[in-house]
Chains A and B, each alone.
Chain A
Amino acid sequence: MKVLIAKPGLDGHDRGAKVVAQALRDAGVEVVYSGLKRTPEEIVAEAIQEDVDVVGLSVLSGAHVLLARRVVDALRAQDADDIRVVVGGIIPPRDVQTLLGLGVTGVFPMGTPLPQIVAAFKEERA
């Protein structure tokens, strides 16, 4: 299994992204980390090039709905919607359904225990 952990938008807080990346790596997942401030288009290009199974977006700025929509749409436009998208960060409860409605397959709001996130990624393999 291969995962791209990505930071879309302008938010520079990468503690969560890097912690999840390390936890996944320890769980035997191959992990690529995008670095900060990538555009949705750059993230989709990297996901396709790296041939990942899942893209994990980390957003703490509040722009998660807009950014997730862009990534999901861009994957579709590239005929790459077999790549799943999950989202973590400061996601208020009211936005969880909105994100799932966009086609995001997993949402990890603040406070989600790390083992639960790792387990959810592994289930995405199916």
Chain B
Amino acid sequence: MREAKLHAGIPVKPVYGPEDVAGIDVERDVGRPGEYPYTRGIHPHMYRDRLWTMRQYIGFGTPAETNARFKYLMAHGQDALNVAFDLPTQLGLDSDDPRAEGEVGRVGMAIDTLADMEEAFDGIPLDRVSVSLTINGMAAPITAMYFAVAEKQGAARERVVTTPQNDILKEFIARGTWVYPVEPSLRLVGDLIEFSARNFPRSNPVSVCGYHIREAGCTTAQEMAYGLAIAAAYVELMLARGMTVDEFAPRLSFNFTCWGKIFEEVAKFRAGRRLYARMLRERFGATNPRSWMFRSLIGGGGSAFTVQEPENNIVRGAYIALAAALSGAQTMALPTFDEAYTIPSPKAQLVALRTMQICAEESGATDTADPLAGSYYVEAMTKAMEEKILEELAHVERMGGIVEAVKSGAIQAEVARQAYLFEQRLASGEVPKVAVNCYVGEGAAAADPEVELYAFDAGVAEAQVKKLARVRRERDDAAVAGVLRRLRDEARGSGNLMPVIMDAVKAYATLGEIARALKDVFGDYKEPVKF
């Protein structure tokens, strides 16, 4: 008989039966959808009341180009946006900074000043559309720009719904868009959470991400464990500022990955919801049920897609969408079949959106809440996954807690080690990948020359630099200098920096100027290089 094992290392038996769920207290551990501990989902009727939000990740080139693609997706039924920023923007460099050369508008849209943000959301009513901002190190100034645009549009503050990612701990572990050292970076995370909770009550000022850590190589159980540890670190950060947990926890949200190994993903999310609810209620004393709810964007894992025979990724995407639906996603996004090649083409984007819509409307997965509940296998795996996640959390504690593990580089090294182990399992065929390590026919396929590659236009940088120069010319330089001085002064203190950052963006200070002012005070992060 063939061996079977989850990515988390849990062995799978050929058959499950009543004996495998005998130790589970159904009332206490599984419960009902919409009820503590939310193993079965955070809403009583799940998708019967409200379908997940479809939120494809997009952004490239100039704000005007991105604005046009936003409108294309919305015209085809996408109901919310998920914005990609280019690397200079993510790192606080203006488009005319020498270090930005070759990167302006490449992996996302370029934002230098409030004028760019105004253009990106031109004609998109921010009191009606919810927008995720994939921004971390620069979350404070970019979200300030977003709030400023919403204000200019006349949107009521309580109707503005934005989710800046604002999860710097995972950037130190995986995605790499850190700028400042760990402690001042955490302060900025806290400033945005606090400011948002007090002023934009429906916005979600942090999206805790397991996604990127898993995509960087860790296992499913580690993804959930690290995400929960990061969430706990942010809760502690806010409690230390004197906020009560129920003031901010209802607006904490999550962003996790999902691959096509359906039952493992379902077990991961069911276990994660249960653990999070218990952590918030029992450890942090939250009393508002909304504080106990693990609300998640489930994003299909781009690294599950292959360069070989890219059309196969459409099929992988369909299984991923089904897994995410069965996992109880609030929001879903899928990678596109050309993911391994390029910035997605409009056609690939449309196929991804259609995949989610077909899953929602045609598969029947949305007809009833948590349809896999009560399955011997799924309940037993949920329990096994819970135990594995707790083991991984104990490992994080042994590393000194998540913040210390990030500072020392121990957790980065563990993720890299797992990535290498996974690669070896792919090479040995232990993890099968069709058309990659099995059923390859006459040798492995090379890259498909038919995939339409995004034509990066070098003119984007030129246009962006020209616009930046015009904004600099037309603004009140003395006002900008004054507000940047104030920003430096306040950064030396310990107060919330969001109000002064709001003033800076409204004065059309550039993102680079704001980032530099903070760097003058906070300094640079020195990466602990371990592998």
User: Taking A13-B175, A19-B419 as contacts, is the C-beta distance between A39 and B447 under 8 angstroms?
Assistant: no
Known pairs A113-B427, A114-B427; list 5 more (Cβ under 8 Å).
A10-B88, A14-B216, A19-B420, A21-B531, A110-B447
Contacts of B308 in A (CB 8 A): 111
Is A12 touching B420 in the complex (CB atoms < 8 A)?
Answer: no
Closest chain-B Cβ to A5's Cβ sits at a distance in Å of: 9
Contacts of A12 in B (CB 8 A): 87, 171, 175-178
Q: Does B444 contact A (CB under 8 A)?
A: yes
Within the assembled complex, what's the spacing in Å between the Cα atoms of A35 and B176? 10
A residues with a Cβ closer than 8 A to B are 9-15, 18-19, 21-23, 33-37, 39, 61-63, 66-67, 90, 92-94, 109-111, 113-115
Interface residues as binary, B449-471 with A (CB distance below 8 Å gives 1, 0 otherwise): 10001001000000000000000
Is B529 touching A33 in the complex (CB atoms < 8 A)?
Answer: yes
Within the assembled complex, what's the spacing in Å between the Cα atoms of A60 and B88? 14
Within the assembled complex, what's the spacing in Å between the Cα atoms of A34 and B529? 8
Contacts of B215 in A (CB 8 A): 15
Closest chain-A Cβ to B228's Cβ sits at a distance in Å of: 22
Within the assembled complex, what's the spacing in Å between the Cα atoms of A10 and B102? 10
A-B contacts, 15 listed (Cβ < 8 Å) = A10-B91, A10-B103, A12-B87, A12-B177, A13-B175, A35-B527, A36-B176, A37-B91, A61-B107, A67-B102, A90-B340, A93-B446, A110-B447, A111-B446, A114-B423
Q: Which 10 A-B pairs have CB atoms at the shortest separation, nearest pair first? A: A12-B176, A111-B307, A10-B87, A66-B102, A63-B102, A18-B416, A35-B529, A22-B420, A18-B531, A35-B527
Q: Which of A18, A63, A94 contacts B453 (CB 8 A)?
A: A94
Is B106 touching A62 in the complex (CB atoms < 8 A)?
Answer: yes
Interface residues as binary, B416-458 with A (CB distance below 8 Å gives 1, 0 otherwise): 1101100100010000000010000000101101000100100
User: Taking A22-B531, A94-B453 as contacts, is the C-beta distance between A9 and B102 under 8 angstroms?
Assistant: yes
Closest chain-B Cβ to A25's Cβ sits at a distance in Å of: 8
Is B447 touching A11 in the complex (CB atoms < 8 A)?
Answer: no
**CB contacts between A and B, total, < 8 Å:** 101
Number of chain B residues close to chain A: CB under 8 A: 43
Is B107 touching A62 in the complex (CB atoms < 8 A)?
Answer: yes
Interface residues as binary, B147-185 with A (CB distance below 8 Å gives 1, 0 otherwise): 000000000000000000000000100011110000000
Q: What's the dominant secondary structure at chain B's contact region? A: loop
Q: Does B357 contact A (CB under 8 A)?
A: no
B residues with a Cβ closer than 8 A to A are 87-88, 90-91, 93, 99-103, 106-107, 171, 175-178, 215-217, 303, 306-308, 340-342, 416-417, 419-420, 423, 427, 436, 444, 446-447, 449, 453, 456, 527, 529, 531
Chain B: which residue is nearest A112 at the CB level? B307
Is B102 touching A92 in the complex (CB atoms < 8 A)?
Answer: no
Contacts of A93 in B (CB 8 A): 446-447, 449
User: Taking A9-B102, A35-B529, A37-B176 as contacts, is the C-beta distance between A110 and B307 under 8 angstroms?
Assistant: yes
Is A115 touching B101 in the complex (CB atoms < 8 A)?
Answer: no
Is B527 touching A36 in the complex (CB atoms < 8 A)?
Answer: yes
Is B176 touching A11 in the complex (CB atoms < 8 A)?
Answer: yes
Within the assembled complex, what's the spacing in Å between the Cα atoms of A61 and B427? 26
Is B340 touching A66 in the complex (CB atoms < 8 A)?
Answer: no
Chain B: which residue is nearest A116 at the CB level? B444
Contacts of B88 in A (CB 8 A): 10
Within the assembled complex, what's the spacing in Å between the Cα atoms of A12 and B212? 11
Closest chain-A Cβ to B469's Cβ sits at a distance in Å of: 22
Is B342 touching A92 in the complex (CB atoms < 8 A)?
Answer: yes
Is B447 touching A61 in the complex (CB atoms < 8 A)?
Answer: no
Closest chain-B Cβ to A61's Cβ sits at a distance in Å of: 6
Within the assembled complex, what's the spacing in Å between the Cα atoms of A63 and B216? 20
Contacts of A13 in B (CB 8 A): 175-176, 216
Is A19 touching B416 in the complex (CB atoms < 8 A)?
Answer: yes
Closest chain-B Cβ to A43's Cβ sits at a distance in Å of: 13
Within the assembled complex, what's the spacing in Å between the Cα atoms of A39 and B103? 13
Of A15, A22, A61, A62, chain B has the most CB atoms within 10 Å of the CB of A15
